Amino acid sequence: MTLLSSRRALPVEPGLLSKALEVAGRLANDATDVITATAGRGAHPDTKDSPFDWVTDTDRTLERHTRRVLTAEFPGMPVVGEEFGPDLGADVADYRWVVDPVDGTANYVAGVPWCAYSLALVDASGPVVGVVADPYRGQIYAAARGRGARANGSPIEPADRGCTAGTIVCTELTRTGPWPGMGGFIERAAAAHAGVRVLGSAALSIAQVALGHASAAVLHSYHEWDVAAAVGLAIETGAVVLDRHGEGAALPPDGLLVAAPSVAEEVLSWWSGVG
Protein backbone atom coordinates (compact mmCIF):
# COMPACT_ATOMS: atom_id res chain seq x y z
CA MET A 1 0.00 0.00 0.00
CA THR A 2 1.48 3.32 -1.11
CA LEU A 3 0.34 6.23 1.04
CA LEU A 4 -0.43 9.48 -0.71
CA SER A 5 1.45 11.38 1.97
CA SER A 6 4.68 9.80 0.74
CA ARG A 7 4.35 11.61 -2.59
CA ARG A 8 5.57 15.19 -2.99
CA ALA A 9 3.00 17.71 -4.20
CA LEU A 10 3.97 20.53 -6.53
CA PRO A 11 4.62 23.90 -4.87
CA VAL A 12 2.06 26.65 -5.44
CA GLU A 13 2.65 30.40 -5.37
CA PRO A 14 1.28 31.70 -2.03
CA GLY A 15 -0.58 34.57 -3.64
CA LEU A 16 -2.50 32.19 -5.87
CA LEU A 17 -3.44 30.04 -2.87
CA SER A 18 -4.75 33.03 -0.94
CA LYS A 19 -6.73 34.46 -3.84
CA ALA A 20 -8.16 31.08 -4.81
CA LEU A 21 -9.31 30.44 -1.23
CA GLU A 22 -10.96 33.86 -1.01
CA VAL A 23 -12.80 33.60 -4.33
CA ALA A 24 -13.85 29.97 -3.78
CA GLY A 25 -15.15 30.84 -0.32
CA ARG A 26 -17.18 33.71 -1.73
CA LEU A 27 -18.70 31.44 -4.37
CA ALA A 28 -19.49 28.79 -1.74
CA ASN A 29 -21.36 31.39 0.29
CA ASP A 30 -23.32 32.44 -2.81
CA ALA A 31 -24.23 28.80 -3.46
CA THR A 32 -25.34 28.29 0.14
CA ASP A 33 -27.78 31.18 -0.15
CA VAL A 34 -29.26 29.87 -3.41
CA ILE A 35 -29.54 26.23 -2.31
CA THR A 36 -31.15 26.95 1.06
CA ALA A 37 -33.61 29.36 -0.54
CA THR A 38 -34.77 26.94 -3.23
CA ALA A 39 -34.32 23.34 -2.05
CA GLY A 40 -37.48 21.29 -2.44
CA ARG A 41 -39.44 24.40 -3.45
CA GLY A 42 -40.36 24.31 -7.06
CA ALA A 43 -37.18 22.90 -8.56
CA HIS A 44 -37.75 21.77 -12.14
CA PRO A 45 -35.65 18.65 -12.70
CA ASP A 46 -34.74 17.23 -16.06
CA THR A 47 -33.34 13.71 -16.23
CA LYS A 48 -30.05 12.49 -17.67
CA ASP A 49 -29.38 8.75 -18.01
CA SER A 50 -31.34 7.80 -14.90
CA PRO A 51 -34.60 9.13 -13.42
CA PHE A 52 -32.63 9.89 -10.25
CA ASP A 53 -29.76 11.65 -12.03
CA TRP A 54 -31.32 15.07 -11.83
CA VAL A 55 -30.35 18.33 -13.46
CA THR A 56 -32.12 21.44 -12.21
CA ASP A 57 -32.31 25.14 -12.96
CA THR A 58 -30.23 25.66 -9.81
CA ASP A 59 -27.39 23.44 -11.08
CA ARG A 60 -27.15 25.44 -14.28
CA THR A 61 -27.54 28.85 -12.63
CA LEU A 62 -24.86 28.17 -10.02
CA GLU A 63 -22.42 26.77 -12.55
CA ARG A 64 -22.90 29.75 -14.87
CA HIS A 65 -22.33 32.13 -11.94
CA THR A 66 -19.23 30.20 -10.87
CA ARG A 67 -17.81 30.28 -14.38
CA ARG A 68 -18.43 34.02 -14.76
CA VAL A 69 -16.64 34.83 -11.51
CA LEU A 70 -13.71 32.48 -12.10
CA THR A 71 -13.22 33.72 -15.66
CA ALA A 72 -13.07 37.30 -14.40
CA GLU A 73 -10.79 36.57 -11.44
CA PHE A 74 -8.51 33.99 -13.10
CA PRO A 75 -8.43 34.78 -16.83
CA GLY A 76 -7.07 31.98 -18.95
CA MET A 77 -7.55 29.35 -16.24
CA PRO A 78 -10.03 26.75 -17.58
CA VAL A 79 -13.10 25.49 -15.74
CA VAL A 80 -14.49 21.95 -15.75
CA GLY A 81 -18.10 21.67 -14.61
CA GLU A 82 -20.67 18.94 -14.29
CA GLU A 83 -23.31 20.73 -16.33
CA PHE A 84 -21.31 22.41 -19.11
CA GLY A 85 -18.21 20.23 -19.36
CA PRO A 86 -14.57 21.32 -19.75
CA ASP A 87 -13.27 24.55 -21.20
CA LEU A 88 -10.89 24.20 -24.12
CA GLY A 89 -7.43 23.18 -22.94
CA ALA A 90 -8.50 22.03 -19.48
CA ASP A 91 -6.77 18.67 -19.96
CA VAL A 92 -3.35 20.26 -20.52
CA ALA A 93 -3.51 23.40 -18.37
CA ASP A 94 -1.22 23.83 -15.36
CA TYR A 95 -4.29 24.64 -13.26
CA ARG A 96 -7.99 24.02 -13.76
CA TRP A 97 -11.06 24.77 -11.69
CA VAL A 98 -13.48 21.89 -11.09
CA VAL A 99 -17.04 22.58 -9.95
CA ASP A 100 -20.13 20.58 -9.04
CA PRO A 101 -22.85 23.16 -8.37
CA VAL A 102 -25.16 20.76 -6.53
CA ASP A 103 -23.72 17.41 -5.46
CA GLY A 104 -26.69 15.36 -4.29
CA THR A 105 -29.26 16.88 -6.60
CA ALA A 106 -31.88 14.18 -5.98
CA ASN A 107 -31.74 15.06 -2.28
CA TYR A 108 -31.95 18.76 -3.15
CA VAL A 109 -35.04 18.26 -5.31
CA ALA A 110 -36.75 16.20 -2.60
CA GLY A 111 -35.82 18.62 0.18
CA VAL A 112 -33.66 16.02 1.94
CA PRO A 113 -31.05 18.07 3.86
CA TRP A 114 -27.90 16.51 2.40
CA CYS A 115 -26.29 18.14 -0.63
CA ALA A 116 -23.26 20.28 -1.32
CA TYR A 117 -21.58 22.82 -3.55
CA SER A 118 -18.07 21.68 -4.45
CA LEU A 119 -15.29 23.78 -6.01
CA ALA A 120 -11.60 22.91 -6.35
CA LEU A 121 -8.49 24.28 -8.01
CA VAL A 122 -6.51 21.30 -9.32
CA ASP A 123 -3.00 20.83 -10.74
CA ALA A 124 -0.99 17.78 -11.76
CA SER A 125 -0.55 16.77 -8.10
CA GLY A 126 -4.26 16.96 -7.26
CA PRO A 127 -6.36 19.50 -5.36
CA VAL A 128 -4.62 22.81 -4.64
CA VAL A 129 -7.62 24.49 -3.04
CA GLY A 130 -10.89 22.80 -2.11
CA VAL A 131 -14.07 24.37 -0.79
CA VAL A 132 -17.24 22.43 0.04
CA ALA A 133 -20.41 24.19 1.13
CA ASP A 134 -22.79 22.20 3.36
CA PRO A 135 -25.78 24.53 3.10
CA TYR A 136 -28.19 22.80 5.47
CA ARG A 137 -25.68 22.86 8.31
CA GLY A 138 -24.46 26.36 7.50
CA GLN A 139 -20.89 25.13 7.08
CA ILE A 140 -18.16 26.05 4.62
CA TYR A 141 -15.23 23.61 4.62
CA ALA A 142 -12.06 24.97 3.02
CA ALA A 143 -8.52 23.70 2.51
CA ALA A 144 -5.38 24.78 0.69
CA ARG A 145 -2.26 22.77 0.01
CA GLY A 146 0.05 22.93 3.00
CA ARG A 147 -2.26 25.24 4.96
CA GLY A 148 -4.58 22.72 6.59
CA ALA A 149 -8.38 22.68 6.53
CA ARG A 150 -11.01 24.78 8.25
CA ALA A 151 -14.74 24.63 8.97
CA ASN A 152 -16.27 28.12 9.06
CA GLY A 153 -12.80 29.46 9.77
CA SER A 154 -11.96 27.09 12.64
CA PRO A 155 -9.14 24.57 12.11
CA ILE A 156 -10.21 20.98 11.52
CA GLU A 157 -8.08 18.75 13.70
CA PRO A 158 -7.11 15.31 12.35
CA ALA A 159 -9.17 12.54 13.91
CA ASP A 160 -8.19 8.86 13.91
CA ARG A 161 -10.12 6.45 16.12
CA GLY A 162 -7.70 3.58 15.65
CA CYS A 163 -10.14 0.91 14.44
CA THR A 164 -13.31 0.56 12.38
CA ALA A 165 -15.48 -0.94 15.15
CA GLY A 166 -18.20 1.48 16.11
CA THR A 167 -17.47 3.87 13.22
CA ILE A 168 -19.33 4.95 10.10
CA VAL A 169 -18.03 4.10 6.63
CA CYS A 170 -19.61 5.98 3.72
CA THR A 171 -20.16 4.83 0.17
CA GLU A 172 -22.36 5.85 -2.75
CA LEU A 173 -24.39 4.07 -5.39
CA THR A 174 -23.38 4.23 -9.02
CA ARG A 175 -25.69 5.83 -11.58
CA THR A 176 -27.27 2.42 -12.23
CA GLY A 177 -27.52 1.22 -8.64
CA PRO A 178 -25.30 -0.80 -6.28
CA TRP A 179 -21.75 -1.27 -7.47
CA PRO A 180 -20.41 -4.80 -8.07
CA GLY A 181 -19.58 -6.36 -4.73
CA MET A 182 -21.32 -3.66 -2.69
CA GLY A 183 -23.36 -6.22 -0.77
CA GLY A 184 -20.22 -8.14 0.20
CA PHE A 185 -18.51 -4.91 1.24
CA ILE A 186 -21.40 -4.06 3.56
CA GLU A 187 -21.32 -7.57 5.02
CA ARG A 188 -17.59 -7.30 5.75
CA ALA A 189 -18.08 -3.92 7.37
CA ALA A 190 -20.90 -5.28 9.51
CA ALA A 191 -18.73 -8.22 10.61
CA ALA A 192 -16.18 -5.64 11.78
CA HIS A 193 -18.95 -3.79 13.68
CA ALA A 194 -18.82 -0.77 11.36
CA GLY A 195 -21.92 0.86 9.90
CA VAL A 196 -22.15 1.65 6.18
CA ARG A 197 -24.12 4.71 5.08
CA VAL A 198 -25.27 5.71 1.58
CA LEU A 199 -26.39 9.33 1.89
CA GLY A 200 -26.37 10.68 -1.65
CA SER A 201 -23.47 13.14 -1.86
CA ALA A 202 -19.94 12.00 -2.67
CA ALA A 203 -18.50 15.36 -1.60
CA LEU A 204 -20.11 15.23 1.82
CA SER A 205 -19.24 11.55 2.27
CA ILE A 206 -15.54 12.33 1.87
CA ALA A 207 -15.88 15.49 3.94
CA GLN A 208 -17.13 13.34 6.84
CA VAL A 209 -13.76 11.58 6.86
CA ALA A 210 -11.92 14.90 6.94
CA LEU A 211 -14.16 16.06 9.80
CA GLY A 212 -13.66 12.84 11.79
CA HIS A 213 -17.33 11.85 11.62
CA ALA A 214 -16.63 8.79 9.43
CA SER A 215 -13.57 6.56 9.42
CA ALA A 216 -13.59 6.00 5.65
CA ALA A 217 -15.39 6.60 2.38
CA VAL A 218 -15.30 4.27 -0.63
CA LEU A 219 -16.40 5.27 -4.13
CA HIS A 220 -16.42 2.49 -6.71
CA SER A 221 -16.54 5.16 -9.43
CA TYR A 222 -16.76 8.93 -9.45
CA HIS A 223 -16.35 12.12 -11.44
CA GLU A 224 -13.59 14.56 -10.59
CA TRP A 225 -16.05 17.37 -9.94
CA ASP A 226 -17.84 15.25 -7.31
CA VAL A 227 -14.80 14.76 -5.10
CA ALA A 228 -11.85 17.05 -5.88
CA ALA A 229 -12.64 19.68 -3.24
CA ALA A 230 -13.45 17.15 -0.52
CA VAL A 231 -10.30 15.15 -1.29
CA GLY A 232 -8.35 18.36 -0.77
CA LEU A 233 -9.94 18.66 2.68
CA ALA A 234 -9.15 15.05 3.51
CA ILE A 235 -5.51 15.30 2.45
CA GLU A 236 -4.99 18.40 4.59
CA THR A 237 -6.39 16.59 7.64
CA GLY A 238 -4.05 13.63 7.18
CA ALA A 239 -6.39 11.11 5.55
CA VAL A 240 -5.05 8.36 3.30
CA VAL A 241 -6.20 8.50 -0.34
CA LEU A 242 -5.90 5.29 -2.37
CA ASP A 243 -7.26 3.54 -5.43
CA ARG A 244 -8.80 0.06 -5.27
CA HIS A 245 -5.33 -1.50 -5.61
CA GLY A 246 -3.92 0.38 -2.63
CA GLU A 247 -1.87 2.84 -4.68
CA GLY A 248 -1.74 6.44 -3.53
CA ALA A 249 -3.06 9.12 -5.88
CA ALA A 250 -5.04 12.25 -5.11
CA LEU A 251 -7.63 11.56 -7.83
CA PRO A 252 -7.05 7.94 -8.90
CA PRO A 253 -8.68 6.69 -12.11
CA ASP A 254 -9.81 3.36 -10.64
CA GLY A 255 -12.06 3.99 -7.65
CA LEU A 256 -11.38 6.01 -4.54
CA LEU A 257 -10.79 5.20 -0.88
CA VAL A 258 -10.38 8.04 1.62
CA ALA A 259 -9.70 6.82 5.15
CA ALA A 260 -8.18 7.55 8.51
CA PRO A 261 -4.63 6.15 8.39
CA SER A 262 -5.17 3.43 11.00
CA VAL A 263 -8.14 1.87 9.18
CA ALA A 264 -7.17 2.34 5.53
CA GLU A 265 -5.69 -1.14 5.06
CA GLU A 266 -8.66 -2.85 6.70
CA VAL A 267 -11.29 -1.00 4.67
CA LEU A 268 -9.25 -1.58 1.51
CA SER A 269 -9.34 -5.32 2.22
CA TRP A 270 -13.15 -5.22 2.41
CA TRP A 271 -13.26 -3.47 -0.95
CA SER A 272 -10.58 -5.37 -2.85
CA GLY A 273 -11.94 -8.67 -1.60
CA VAL A 274 -15.29 -8.28 -3.38
CA GLY A 275 -16.50 -7.70 -6.91
100 is in an annotated binding site: yes
172 is in an annotated binding site: no
In 3D space, the residue among 213, 210, 228 whose CA is nearest the CA of residue 103 turns out to be 228
103 is in an annotated binding site: yes
Distance in angstroms (rounded) separating the CA atoms of residues 215 and 239: 9
91 is in an annotated binding site: no
Which residues participate in the annotated binding site for Mg(2+)? 82, 100, 103, 226
Which residues participate in the annotated binding site? 82, 100, 103, 226
